[in-house]
Amino acid sequence: MDLFERYLASIGRLLPGDQRDDIIAELRDALANRRDEKQAETGHPLTREETTALLRAFGHPLAVAGRYGRQQYLIGPDLYPVYIFVLKIVVAVIAASALVSGIATSIVTAGVNPAQAEPAVRTAITVLWNGCFSAVGIITVIFAILQRRNVHLKFLDEWNPRDLPKTPRRRRETWFDHVAAIVVQTIFLLWWVGAIQFGQPFTVLKSGQSLHLDLAPIWQTVYWPVVGLSLGTILVHAAKLTGAVRKRLASGLDLLLQVAVMAVGGMVLRAQSWVLVTGSGLPAKSLFSVELGVNISIQITLVVVIIVAVCTAMVDLWRLYRPLPSA
């Protein structure tokens, strides 16, 4: 079988059966005309190399056969924006589910010991990986079917601009926000360094029974970092209040504060426990339960604080590096 016939047979295998013979006959004639044209140019029968070059120029069998297909794309330009929009939402939901699953696993398996984070990370990655693969596959198949059936999404035509969501007005920080932050941070700092006291965390339950809550050693370790962070927060808000910093610099300072929160939060989170519970007139089992409950609450709070700091830092980073609007 010469190269022409091998080439045509390769195309034929990729064509729909009811049209195959017809299309191949036409392509055979087209190739023969090309060959005649080339032979007239060169004045001799085509060599094997010239025939190869001619067929290469005609196109790969997959490409040639593909052009006879009824559908030239999996998802067309009308459906593609909707497809991408749906994908983004679903992947975001899966990512959030992975995060929640990870935190839940952390609490269930590691208890108050965040050092044992491996099962939580594994669970989160599994949920993210499997969820994304399945979701992308299923959504792609659904949109490919819609495309193949030529389904027209009515909502793209029958929409009303009045139904569009209102643009949320970004709340700007006011002088009150800065003053409130400075006051709260100052009170916290004074309490932290021992200048003021709010009374001992001591609860009398009933006659002969009491509970004492004491901070675990980790808080001593992060004493100075917390002082620094608190002072930094006060200074940044003071600078903003007096208008001493421009917007971009303010975003940069906010970003630094959030990074500091993440660092200090990470140090604290790595500790075994954060509060020690002692008491009198109570069984050890009850004291242990109370301590466990308080520490789990603190662990969840710390995780949330770090997540919020990460999100805020990302927003600050975006504000810092976004292109300035042209004048």
Partner 1 sequence: MPIEDDLYEKLRLELRRGSLILAVLAALKQERYGYTLRRVLADGGLDIDEGALYPMLRRLESQGLLTSEWREEDKRNKRFYRLSPDGAVLLDQLAAEWRAINASLNTLL
Positions touching partner 1 (CB under 8 A) are 19, 23, 25-27, 29-30, 32-34, 58-59, 63-64, 67-68
* SS3 state at 246: coil
Nearer Cβ to partner 1, position 29 or 214?
29
Adjacency order of strands within the sheet including 202-206: 202-206, 209-215, 275-280
- In whole angstroms, give the CA distance from residue 182 to residue 238: 7
Shortest Å distance, C-beta 59 to partner 1? 4
Structure-derived torsion over alpha carbons of residues 306, 311, 316, 317, reported in degrees to the nearest 10:
100
Burial class (CB in 10 A: 0-12, 13-18, 19+), 7: buried
Q: Residue 58 CB, nearest distance to partner 1 (Å)?
A: 7
CB of 18 to partner 1, least distance (A): 12
- Kindly state the smallest distance separating residue 108's Cβ from partner 1, in Å: 55
Q: Which is nearer to partner 1, 25 or 180 (CB)?
A: 25
Distance of closest approach, residue 4 Cβ to partner 1, in angstroms: 14
Residue 120: burial class (beta carbons within 10 Å; 0-12, 13-18, 19+):
buried
For residues 31 and 250, which CB has a smaller minimum distance to partner 1 in the complex? 31
b or e along 134-167 (b: 16 or more beta carbons within 10 Å of the residue's beta carbon)?
A: ebeeebeeebbebbeeeeeeeeeeeeeeeeeeee
Q: CA-to-CA distance for 177 and 190, rounded, in angstroms?
A: 20
Q: How far is the CB of 3 from partner 1 (least distance, A)?
A: 17
How, if at all, do strands 202-206 and 209-215 pair?
A: antiparallel
Strands 209-215 and 275-280, how do they pair?
antiparallel
> What distance in Å separates the CA atoms of residue 48 and residue 57, rounded to the nearest whole number?
14
Q: How far is the CB of 25 from partner 1 (least distance, A)?
A: 6
Residue 30 or 304: which CB sits closer to partner 1? 30
Closer of 68 and 192 to partner 1 (Cβ) = 68
* C-alpha dihedral, 56 to 58 to 63 to 68, nearest 10°: -160
Minimum Å gap between C-beta 32 and partner 1 is: 7
Q: Which is nearer to partner 1, 34 or 212 (CB)?
A: 34
Q: At closest approach, how far in Å is the CB of 265 from partner 1?
A: 46
Closer by beta carbon to partner 1, 68 or else 80: 68
Residue among 59 and 252 whose Cβ is closer to partner 1: 59
3-state helix, strand, coil in the chain (%, to 5): 70, 5, 25
If the CB atoms of residues 58 and 80 are measured against partner 1, the closer one turns out to be: 58
Helices (H) and strands (E) in the chain, counts: 11, 3
Query: What is the Cα–Cα distance from 42 to 224, expressed in whole angstroms?
Result: 88
